[in-house]
Amino acid sequence: MQTLIKNGTIITEKATIRADLLIGGEKIIQISDTIQTDSSARIFDATGLLVLPGGVDVHVHLDLPMFGTVSSDDHYTGTKAAAFGGTTTVIDFVSQNSDNLLKNVKQLREKAERNAAIDFGLHANITHLSTVVEKAIPSLVKEGITSVKVFTAYNNRLRLLDGEIFKVMRIARDNGILTMLHAENGDVIELLVNEAIAEGHITPEWHSRTRPVWGSVEAVVRGSALSAIANAPLYIVHMNAAGEVDQLEYARKQGLNVMGETCPQYLFFTEEDLKKPDGSKWICSPPVRKEEDQKRLWEGLLTGVIQTIATDHCPFFYDGTKPIVYEDKPIAIPGKELGRNDFTKIPNGLPGVGDRMPVMWTEMVSSGRFSASQFVSLTCANPARIFGMYPQKGTIQIGSDADLVIWDSNLIVNYGVAHSQQRTDYNLYEGWKLRGFPVQVFSRGDLIVDRGNWLGKPGRGKYIHREPFVNQ
């Protein structure tokens, strides 16, 4: 069956056009001023509405074990929440549970395929390097995994030494794989955390105070230097500090293929939020910073120094002792109350996969600070291009997957938990007045969200076999 979306205004990363759009099966097959179809076609009238590509969130953590609990969104609830917010593709991370990288991939992929309601891809974490792992990294490409993540923090758990990161970068470079970097200084963090605990500093703001901004800045410089020496591309995840933007800009001006991502939480919240009675809600790593950091991050987005907006979605209940009702069933998962008397035991992570598109549209496009095409570039096209999914994902072209969002730019929503669909007991944007919101969402031609009604189901999402990295 064909589907016709008529009379809408199509927004891509390059243009705004008034046109009809025809879907055949899972793909866009025609874009034209006026399209005629036979009587069997489904017709959706988008008069007065925008047609955007489905959002691409390249940084989510679903069903992730942490601190004796697990992130509260699994691959079904997290992808459902994504869809309600206008995101139709996500990329999760494969933990390195063993040196058998392909076994790790197989286990997570099978679990996600049973549950995902939208399409998904996978990155691979490299948190322990051995000869076996070095030889296995190239095999990831055949599995459609063309990005690996390394850490300069989380000593004795996730961190690699600089020489090991350099080795990973060179192997990745030779095999069309992009290296992603979590940039903090693990040694400094470990020392400051131990001192804080010894001195009785246990409240949430100490999470930020023990992860100093200069540690992140230094790690971006170090990562960029390793990238230069290895002649390998690098992608800095969840950039949060003004100095990081400065260093990224410097690296790019030197001709280095270094790219950056930021997340909404770093644009809207500061360490002052950690001092609130419910400050643990804002605990994430790296932490939220200061207003001057927010200003520089916005500048980085506006000038193109930063290429993408992702979420680092990794939600936990604020109080996991009290159940919420999700899809008519009560559920409670241990959450941030685990660190009530010790900030180091608060699970690190925030909800955001369902919030990103409407919150950012309001603050970028409705505010007049960014064009609609800039918004699409940062939330859809750039992430898809960098991570080997373009033009299948992230744009509206003939032959692209029919991942489409019918967007009402004038719809005002008093936002919060009720709209976000994230499986947790709070929302960071509770009570925010948003202007612009998705009213219908298509995933590969299937209408899965229709004016607040959920039509999707677990397991309908497909695994995306991503292409090798191409220099940006």
pLDDT per position as a tens digit, 240-287: 999 999 999 999 999 999 999 999 999 999 999 999 999 999 999 999
pLDDT 10s digits, 309-332: 999 999 999 999 999 999 999 999
Same domain, 237 and 127: yes
CB 266 within 8 A of CB 238: yes
Same domain, 156 and 290: yes
Least Cα distance to 144 among 123, 129, 116 occurs for: 123
In a domain, 385, yes or no: no
| 3-class state of residue 432 by DSSP | coil
In a domain, 402, yes or no: yes
- When pLDDT is averaged across residues 411-439 and rounded to a whole number, the result is 96
Total tally of structural domains belonging to the chain: 2
Which residues lie across from 19 on neighbouring strands? 8
pLDDT 10s digits, 130-182: 999 999 999 999 999 999 999 999 999 999 999 999 999 999 999 999 999 99
69 has a pLDDT exceeding 90: yes
472 has a pLDDT exceeding 80: no
Same domain, 410 and 323: no
Q: How many CA atoms lie within 13 A of 316 on its CB side?
A: 27
pLDDT at 383: 98
Same domain, 189 and 203: yes
What's the N-to-C CA distance of the chain in angstroms? 37
In a domain, 471, yes or no: no
pLDDT at 39: 84
**DSSP single-letter state for residue 282:** G
453 has a pLDDT exceeding 80: yes
471 has a pLDDT exceeding 90: no
CB 395 within 8 A of CB 15: no
- When pLDDT is averaged across residues 282-300 and rounded to a whole number, the result is 98
Which parts of 240-333 are beta strand (E)? 258-262, 308-309, 324-326, 329-331
Q: Strand 16-24 and strand 2-11: pairing?
A: antiparallel
Calpha distance 236→238 (Å, rounded):
7
- When pLDDT is averaged across residues 404-410 and rounded to a whole number, the result is 98
Q: Which two tokens stand for residue 294?
A: 């927010």
Say which residues have a Cβ less than 8 Å from residue 105's Cβ, sequence separation at least 6.
94, 122, 124, 140, 143, 145
CA distances, 159 to each of 99, 146, 211 (Å): 15, 20, 15
Same domain, 315 and 442: no
Determine if the peptide bond prior to 286 is cis (ω within 30°). yes
pLDDT tier at 1, thresholds 50, 70, 90: confident
Calpha distance 287→199 (Å, rounded):
21
Mean pLDDT over each residue of the chain, to the nearest integer? 97
388 conformational bin, left if phi > 0, alpha if psi -120 to 50, beta if neither: left
pLDDT at 38: 85
Same domain, 117 and 237: yes
Same domain, 427 and 296: no
Same domain, 28 and 148: no
Q: What is the CATH number of the domain that holds 427?
A: 2.30.40.10
Q: What is the CATH number of the domain that holds 61?
A: 3.20.20.140
In a domain, 373, yes or no: no
Same domain, 41 and 60: no
In a domain, 465, yes or no: no
Same domain, 195 and 136: yes
Same domain, 42 and 98: no
Q: Which domain holds residue 414?
A: 2-53+396-454
In a domain, 93, yes or no: yes
Same domain, 279 and 402: no
pLDDT tier at 291, thresholds 50, 70, 90: very high
| 3-class state of residue 16 by DSSP | strand
87 has a pLDDT exceeding 90: yes
pLDDT at 418: 84
CB 372 within 8 A of CB 12: no
In a domain, 377, yes or no: no
pLDDT at 49: 98
- When pLDDT is averaged across residues 98-109 and rounded to a whole number, the result is 97
In a domain, 379, yes or no: no
